[in-house]
Amino acid sequence: MMKKNVLLAGILITSTVYSQQLTTNTGSPVGDNQNSKTVGNNGPVLLEDIHLIEKLAAFDRERIPERVVHARGAGAIGEFVADADFSDVTMADFLSKAGKKTPVLVRFSTVVHQQGSPETFRDPRGFAVKFYTDQGNYDLVGNNLPVFFIRDAIKFPDMVHAFKPSPVTNNASDNNRVFDFMANIPEATHMLTWLFSDNGIPANYREMQGNGVHAFKWVNAKGEITYVKYKWVPKQGERNLTQEEADKIQSTQIEHATRDLYNSIQNKDFPKWDLYVQMLKKDDFEKLDFNPVDVTKVWPETIAKSIKVGTMTLNQNPVNYFQQVEQAAFSPGTLVPGIEPSEDKLLQGRLFSYFDTQRHRIGGNFQQLPINASKNNVTTYNQNGYMSMRAQSGEVNYQPSTAKPEVTDNKKFKYSQTVFPAGTSTTQAKIDKENNFKQAGELYRSFSKKDQDNLIKNLGSALNSVENKKVVAKMISYFYQADAGYGKRLAQYVKMDRQQLESLLSSK
């Protein structure tokens, strides 16, 4: 409740304004719109969190037919060759021996903007790889940057709403809206430092790094679990654009990265990436000052060295963009034996949301489309529905069956078992060891003077366009906590002295 003064016909009237209760689609009050219901603060998200599920399901159906995010994209086809036998840490068949080849499909994308938007915008880039393995498809769905803005999927619809066009003006990427949201998301400090550096505008898709972003579990035949993070390193080298370079390209073309990828493959200058993983055991987690499954954090090389897993080469352009790229469907839940999701709260939500949005976008049988279909035999009693194309015959469409005993499951590929501490209960709360600012500061200090200068200029210019100065002050306080010099330089750039900052931050 707050008091509001209104001037009406020359008379000052004081009225009482009551705060609004957030509700579900059916009008029920929401108890917590910031944290999913989990097993313990750091455990997996529960399907019984109806508000989370309904919120994500409603969000996934907001736009037809282009992707809600990652709408602008380019794709290519190629192969992945494993470097060694990794069966000591994972049952994943495509990593079972040196030299093993696996066909792949890759889709690169921008994240926020619509189809047909310029590829020079400051924006994370999607880096999604579909491995057609001998044991089914595996999707490694990531971005060029190694971290993300939020750590809980319950905030994802709100985050994308803030980035998308205003519902009033239809203006895209309004810094007032973006930073109004981010000023209440302190864990975004690390990602914003990446995004507003020159890393925020890759020169093209070929010279761009890729990251799995989330932590995943590798599981071997003994059921032993190793947590991993993925990184794709371009053999062409990595190159980014300054804002001025991007503006110059955008003045003459809007799809320079798509053209560059297509032309390089057409000219047989095939782009290649080496895949690396970092590994940690659960026993290592407590020794760290951050939560290793927190998607806003990287794993420093000092705690987990990168190990080369293999090399990917893209050597074929699509022959039909719509069928092979636009209809391509990726999900972090498309997994194979030996690879499982971690307890990452954002990843847990994506496991539902990505499959759900593909069913909405291209139908319930999207996995039967040729570009999404597994190369190995599919034996399933999932049936019927729109566009059902899989061969199905016979009387038995269920399992187990005495009449068809040869169709069975394989206990060897059961999910791994995770034991939670005794007494752990479900909760809706922030994770332990948030540590929102340390790695952002380390990243800032790792930049050269030129890169620091460009970061301050890019980020400062964006903050200067924000009308609500309390929002600007809150953002500067985050960057100051990451690195005092970082925060002071931003404050100087936006012409805010210490007294103004303190006054704004203490105001109601």
Residue 187: CATH number of its domain: 2.40.180.10
Helix segments in 23-106, DSSP class H: 50-60
304 and 444 inside one domain: no
Predicted confidence band of residue 13 (pLDDT cuts 50, 70, 90):
low
361 and 494 inside one domain: no
CA dist., res. 194 & res. 124, Å (int):
9
How confident is the model at residue 230, as a pLDDT? 98
CA dist., res. 303 & res. 14, Å (int):
59
Residue 7 pLDDT exceeds 60: no
Percentage with pLDDT > 90 across the chain: 73
How confident is the model at residue 487, as a pLDDT? 97
Give pLDDT tens digits for 136-148.
999 999 999 999 9
352 and 446 inside one domain: no
460 and 338 inside one domain: no
Yes or no: say if 131 and 314 are a contact pair by the CB < 8 Å rule. Answer: no
Q: Where does a domain end: 342, 373, 404?
A: 373
Yes or no: say if 340 and 51 are a contact pair by the CB < 8 Å rule. Answer: no
Instruction: Classify residue 394: in a domain, yes or no.
Output: no
149 φ/ψ angles, rounded to the nearest 5 degrees? -75, -40
Q: In sequence order, what are the beta bridge partners of 16?
A: 3
How confident is the model at residue 9, as a pLDDT? 47
344 and 465 inside one domain: no
User: Nearest Cα to 275, choosing from 149, 460, 120, 142?
Assistant: 142
Instruction: Classify residue 87: in a domain, yes or no.
Output: yes
357 and 488 inside one domain: no
Instruction: Classify residue 174: in a domain, yes or no.
Output: yes
Residue 354 annotated as binding?
Answer: yes
Predicted confidence band of residue 483 (pLDDT cuts 50, 70, 90):
very high
Instruction: Classify residue 498: in a domain, yes or no.
Output: yes
CA dist., res. 295 & res. 191, Å (int):
10
Torsion angle defined by CA atoms of residues 497, 498, 504 and 507, in that order, rounded to the nearest 10 degrees: -150
39 φ/ψ angles, rounded to the nearest 5 degrees? -85, 100
Q: Where does a domain end: 373, 404, 428?
A: 373
Q: Where does a domain end: 348, 373, 398?
A: 373
Percentage with pLDDT > 70 across the chain: 96
Give pLDDT tens digits for 222-264.
999 999 999 999 999 999 999 999 999 999 999 999 999 999 9
453 and 310 inside one domain: no
CA dist., res. 191 & res. 35, Å (int):
20
Residue 110 pLDDT exceeds 50: yes
Residue 333 pLDDT exceeds 90: yes
Q: Which residues contact 421 (CB under 8 A, 6 or more apart)?
A: 40
- Residue 482 Cα to chain centre, angstroms: 22
Instruction: Classify residue 31: in a domain, yes or no.
Output: no
212 and 93 inside one domain: yes
Yes or no: say if 456 and 75 are a contact pair by the CB < 8 Å rule. Answer: no
CA dist., res. 264 & res. 315, Å (int):
9
Instruction: Classify residue 9: in a domain, yes or no.
Output: no
H/E segment holding residue 196: none
Instruction: Classify residue 111: in a domain, yes or no.
Output: yes
Structurally, how many domains does the chain consist of? 2
Instruction: Classify residue 53: in a domain, yes or no.
Output: no
322 and 443 inside one domain: no
Catalytic residue positions, numbered: 70, 143
133, 399, 406, 499 from 409: Cα distances, Å: 19, 9, 10, 67
How confident is the model at residue 471, as a pLDDT? 96
Q: State which residues form the domain around 68.
A: 63-373
